[in-house]
Amino acid sequence: MIESKIIRTRIAPSPTGELHIGTLRTLLYDYALAKKNHGQFIFRLEDTDQKRYVPGSEKRLMEVIKDYGLSWDEGPDIGGPYSPYVQTQRLDIYQKYIKELLDKGLAYFCFCTQERLDDLRATQKAQKQIPRYDQHCFHLSKEEIKKNLDNKVPYTIRMVIPKNETIVFEDLIRGKIKFNTNEVDDQVLIKSNGIPTYHFAAVVDDYLMKITHVFRGEEWLTSTPKHLLLYRAFGWEPPQFAHLTVLLNPDGKGKMSKRSGSTHARAFLDDGYLPEAMLNFLMLLGWNPGTEKEFFTLDEFVEAFSINHLHKKSPIFDRKKLDYFNGYYLRQKSDEQLFVLFKKFLPQASKDQIKILVPVLKERIVKLSDLPVQTKFLFENVDYDKELLLKKGTDSKLAIDMLQKTKELINKDFSNLSERILELIKNNNWNVGEFFMVFRVVICGTVFTPPVVECLPALGQEKTLEKINIAILKLTE
Ligand code: GLU
């Protein structure tokens, strides 16, 4: 009986900046497949491109994943049976395997200078050919190679790509995919600094780390034939590949880019999206459960996940949908939980102020970063034009009368304001809408405001009176 394999998936980001939101989606699918099958999910750091290295980003990549409530079973920070999980710490491993390919004649030294490669490229481009290496060094004699090595001529190591073969593989999302090897360049496997390229390191590591399924973006699809040829060269069984769709800009045009706001996973948290809302949104951005259910906890997602329901069509990163999920998850929170979240986004507010604001604002915000905007009037002096006070065509004498009487009421007693102000409006036969249009501007400086009277306790009696005085002054000027 063939023993069924333990499912092992990995996310392998490069420390070249912040974690992209698309990588977080890939990670979710990796995580779900591994967990659903009682397998393992691995974090591997692919830091072979030193030119693009951004110091500190490896730490931030790991931190943000954890801040989203996700974790891995093996990784640079916790180790595991296939340590180390950082590629630049595995250089001796790659040396061993490149030697194997050189010995088998499936890789070769390339001593071409950058200048020669650039010229070659320029000529090929001018002749409207696809730029590729011309295998100059593949044809060097053993003696020439030895001489160059003895003379310490810098070299790269390239892969031998067989001629005119069809490579077929079954992508888990896209089905059968065919490539002709004539389309594949003799890929550099080891760079002149001795460090492997992504292609070589990823294949060796996926094999050694016993990765069974590789989820990655469709931009890697054209690299897959190179990878499959490497597996073949070593005589290794390749993992299964699933090339995920790209996320599209909210307008449906083009790959999601900074044009439509930040694309970093961290930026969404900073913007006050809840991790669980983001994850739920991302789950459905390329996968569906096959049912109408749309709200999923991470555990429910793991339970429901299946590769068969991954989409072929690129999804639009629909921010309205994201706001909808965030609103839903915000309203699932208790006032105690909201207290903590509000405090984070309103660090200048006192505990008492937050306690007042939570019930007033929890239904009205889409994301937590709305809070500083909506409560600006509590912490800053707001300025506005006199005309704004009379926007509804209110007579200025009437507005002054309204404010004088409200001031008296507040001066006397600062409790039960909602009821007492409504009573005041009624007794004076004022128009409710008109009164509040004026009063909102008085307190907040704008016409779009949170429930203004309910916020007054957070503003305090003294500040409220001060704002009314300022408005009266403006109207009498
Ligand atoms: N290091 C690659 C990246 O950051 C990973 C690609 C892969 O998953 O194979 O995009």
HEC sequence for the chain: CCCCCCCEEEECCCCCCCCEHHHHHHHHHHHHHHHHCCCEEEECECCCCHHHCCCCHHHHHHHHHHHCCCCCCEECCCECCCCCCEHHHCHHHHHHHHHHHHHHCCEEEECCCHHHHHHHHHHHHHCCCCCCCCCHHHHCCHHHHHHHHHCCCCCEEEECCCCCCEEEEEECCCEEEEEEHHHCCCCEEECCCCCECHHHHHHHHHHHCCCCEEEEEHHHHHHHHHHHHHHHHHCCCCCEEEEECCCECCCCCCECCHHHCCCEHHHHHHCCCCHHHHHHHHHCCCECCCCCCCCCCHHHHHHHCCHHHECCCCCECCHHHHHHHHHHHHHCCCHHHHHHHHHHHCCCCCHHHHHHHHHHHCCCCCCCCHHHHHCHHHHCCCCCCHHHHCCCCCCHHHHHHHHHHHHHHHHHCCCCHHHHHHHHHHHCCCCHHHHHHHHHHHHHCCCCCCCHHHHHHHHCHHHHHHHHHHHHHHHHC
CA distances for 139 relative to 132, 134, 233, angstroms: 16, 10, 20
How many angstroms separate the most distant Cα atoms in the chain? Answer: 106
Ligand 1 mean position, distance from CA 439 (Å): 56
Both 98 and 68 in one domain: the answer is: no
**Distance (Å, rounded) from C-alpha 298 to C-alpha 48?**
32
Residue 265 lies in a domain: no
Same domain assignment for residues 71 and 218:
yes
Number of compact structural domains in the chain? 3
Could you tell me the CA-to-CA distances from 222 to 183, 199, 437 in Å, in that order?
Answer: 9, 11, 60
Residue 381 and residue 455 in one domain: yes
Distance separating alpha carbons of residues 188 and 182, to the nearest angstrom: 16
List the CATH number of the domain containing 414: 1.10.10.350
Residues 47 and 177 in one domain: no
The reply to whether 280 falls in a domain is no
Identify whether residues 104 and 72 lie together within a single domain: no
Residue pair 305/287 in contact (Cβ under 8 Å)? The answer is yes
Average pLDDT for the chain: 96
Q: Judge if 184 and 115 occupy the same domain.
A: yes
Q: What is the four-CA torsion angle of 351, 460, 473, 441, rounded to 10 degrees?
A: 60
- Do residue 69 and residue 214 come from a single domain? yes
- Bridge partners of residue 11, in order along the sequence: 43
Asked whether the predicted pLDDT for residue 260 surpasses 80, the reply is no
User: Looking at residues 434-463, what average pLDDT do you find?
Assistant: 95
- Ligand 1 centre to CA of 354 (Å) is 43
* pLDDT tens-digit readout, 123-152: 999 999 989 999 999 999 999 999 999 999
* Residue 128: CATH number of its domain: 3.90.800.10
Q: How far is the CA of 32 from the centre of ligand 1 (A)?
A: 18
Closest listed residue to residue 200, CA positions, set 93, 113, 79, 323: 93
Verify that 211 and 184 share a domain, yes or no. Answer: no
Residues 102 and 146 in one domain: yes
Q: Tell me the best of 198, 204, 213 to mutate to test the pocket of ligand 1, counting ligand atoms within 8 Å of each CB and taking the most.
A: 198
With a Cβ cut-off of 6 Å, ligand 1 is lined by 12-14, 46, 198, 202, 216, 220
- The CA distances from residue 141 to 105, 109, 145, 200, in Å, are 13, 11, 6, 25
**Residue range 22-73, pLDDT digits in tens:** 999 999 999 999 999 999 999 999 999 999 999 999 999 999 999 999 999 9
Q: Is residue 19 part of a domain?
A: yes
82 domain residue, yes or no: no
The answer to whether residue 471 is domain-embedded is: yes
Nearest Cα residue to 62 out of 101, 103, 19, 125: 19
**154 shares its domain with 102:** yes
For residue 3, pLDDT beyond 60: no
Q: Which pLDDT band holds residue 262 (cuts at 50, 70, 90)?
A: confident
- Residue 1 banded pLDDT, cuts 50, 70, 90: very low
Give CA–CA dist 348/352, Å, rounded.
Answer: 12
Active site residue 258: yes
In a domain, 342, yes or no: no
Catalytic residue selected from 258, 312, 397, 426: 258
Query: How would residue 382 be classed by pLDDT, with cut points 50, 70 and 90?
Result: confident
Mutate to test the pocket of ligand 1, among 20, 26, 216 (most ligand atoms within 8 A of CB): 216
Nearest CA to ligand 1 atom 10: 13
pLDDT of the residue at 289: 97
Q: What average pLDDT does range 290-312 have in this prediction?
A: 97
pLDDT of residue 435: 97
Query: Nearest residue CA, atom 3 of ligand 1?
Result: 13
The answer on pLDDT for 182 being more than 70 is yes
- Same domain? For 203 and 130 the reply is no
Cis peptide bond prior to 76, omega within 30° of 0: no
Which atom of ligand 1 is found nearest the CA of 206? 9
- Position 38 in a domain: yes
Instruction: Give the Å distance between the CA of 19 and the centre of ligand 1.
Output: 12
Q: Which residues contact 393 (CB under 8 A, 6 or more apart)?
A: none
Over range 345-370, report the average pLDDT. 96
Supply the range of the domain harboring residue 152.
Answer: 92-190
pLDDT over 60 (residue 387): yes
Query: Of the residues 210, 228, 244, which one is the last residue of a structural domain?
Result: 244
Q: Say yes or no: 383 and 442 in one domain.
A: yes
Choose the final residue of a domain: 190, 211, 228: 190
Share of the chain above pLDDT 90, in %: 94
Confidence of residue 392 (pLDDT cuts 50, 70, 90): confident
Within-domain flag for 257: no
The region that residue 429 occupies, defined by phi over 0 for left and psi between -120 and 50 for alpha, beta otherwise, is: left
Tokens representing 118 are 């650039």
- Per-residue pLDDT at 2: 45
Q: How far is the CA of 198 from the centre of ligand 1 (A)?
A: 8
Give pLDDT tens digits for 5-18: 899 999 999 999 99
